[in-house]
């Protein structure tokens, strides 16, 4: 029986993927590399610790990796975070899950202060029981640390009793490594269905509104 639902946030509950990608692109350019937008976007869903090494060498990251990540963080909060909007029906989906007596946790590669802002934007502050962020993990997605921390926060010893919902292959990979087999993907973050299924998403919906519309037929409702 499913007892808890663990949500990713960026690209799953809030429309922020393009904004993150643009902030990283501008940060990379500031530190000497003009990376095409689509290449950067395809890495969103990872934390900075896993994203930056895709484009910068170990030597470069030793010299200015921390400075670059700090620059990106300030840039994102100043210029891009105010433009983030929630996808439709997020609160209604959460209310439906709570009506089934299932617990809700958030597990994001975002920093803790960004997580707080996203909860306000999505109007779900009172519906979330537990939350874990990049601040609670040694490594970000696709490593399992963030989902393992969420399971621990929920005191859920059996991962099969949880469902992970996310928008990227990195969510699916991280959930699998955390031994959470039940995985739902959403397309609103921009990754194609074939990539999500290849990574291990068992069900795919357009967005939170689509999952809510088909709730009774989903693994959440069937359970």
Q: What is the dihedral of CA 214, 215, 218, 223, to 10 degrees?
A: -150
Cβ neighbours around 184 below 10 Å, total: 24
Residue 156: pLDDT band (50, 70, 90) is very high
pLDDT single digits (tens) 96-119: 999 999 999 999 888 888 899 999
Q: How far apart are CA 165 and CA 189, in angstroms?
A: 12
Instruction: Return the pLDDT at 172.
Output: 97
Q: Give the whole-angstrom CA distance, residue 157 versus residue 29.
A: 44
* Residue given tokens 């809030």 in the structure block: 14
Residue 223 has pLDDT above 80, yes or no: no
Q: For position 202, what pLDDT does the model report?
A: 98
The average pLDDT across 171-189 equals: 97
Residue 180 has pLDDT above 80, yes or no: yes
What are the pLDDT digits (tens) for 9-23? 999 999 999 999 999
| Cα distances (Å, whole numbers) of residue 18 to 51, 60, 189, 190 | 15, 25, 9, 9
pLDDT at 222 exceeding the cut of 90: no
Predicted pLDDT at 207: 98
The confidence band for 169, taking pLDDT boundaries of 50, 70 and 90, is very high
Task: Give the tens place of pLDDT for each residue, 71-80.
Answer: 999 999 999 9
Closest CA to 61 of 38, 22, 32: 32
Percent of the chain with pLDDT over 70: 100
Q: How confident is the model at residue 136 (pLDDT cuts 50, 70, 90)?
A: confident
Residue 135: pLDDT band by 50, 70, 90 thresholds?
Answer: confident
- Given this model, what pLDDT does residue 99 score? 97
The CA-based angle 112-52-116, given to 5 degrees, is 10
What DSSP character marks residue 129? Answer: -
């Amino acid at each position: 029986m499913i007892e808890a639902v663990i949500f990713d946030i960026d690209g799953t509950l809030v429309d922020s993927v393009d904004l993150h990608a643009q902030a990283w692109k501008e940060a990379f350019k500031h530190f000497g590399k003009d990376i095409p937008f689509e290449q950067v976007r395809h890495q969103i869903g990872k934390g900075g610790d896993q994203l930056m090494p895709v484009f910068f060498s170990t030597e470069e990251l030793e010299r200015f990796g921390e400075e670059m990540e700090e620059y990106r963080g300030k840039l994102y909060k100043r210029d891009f975070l105010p433009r983030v909007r929630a996808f439709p029906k997020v609160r209604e989906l959460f209310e439906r899950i709570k009506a089934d007596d299932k617990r809700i946790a958030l597990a994001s590669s975002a920093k803790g202060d960004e997580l707080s802002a996203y909860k306000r934007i999505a109007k779900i502050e009172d519906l979330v029981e537990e939350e874990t962020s990049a601040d609670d993990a040694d490594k970000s997605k696709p490593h399992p640390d963030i989902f393992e921390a969420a399971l621990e926060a929920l005191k859920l010893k059996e991962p099969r009793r949880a469902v992970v919902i996310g928008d990227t292959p990195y969510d699916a990979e991280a959930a699998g490594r955390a031994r959470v087999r039940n995985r739902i993907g959403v397309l609103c973050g921009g990754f194609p269905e074939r990539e999500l299924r290849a990574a291990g998403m068992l069900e795919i919906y357009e967005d939170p509104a689509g999952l809510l519309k088909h709730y009774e037929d989903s693994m959440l409702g069937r359970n």
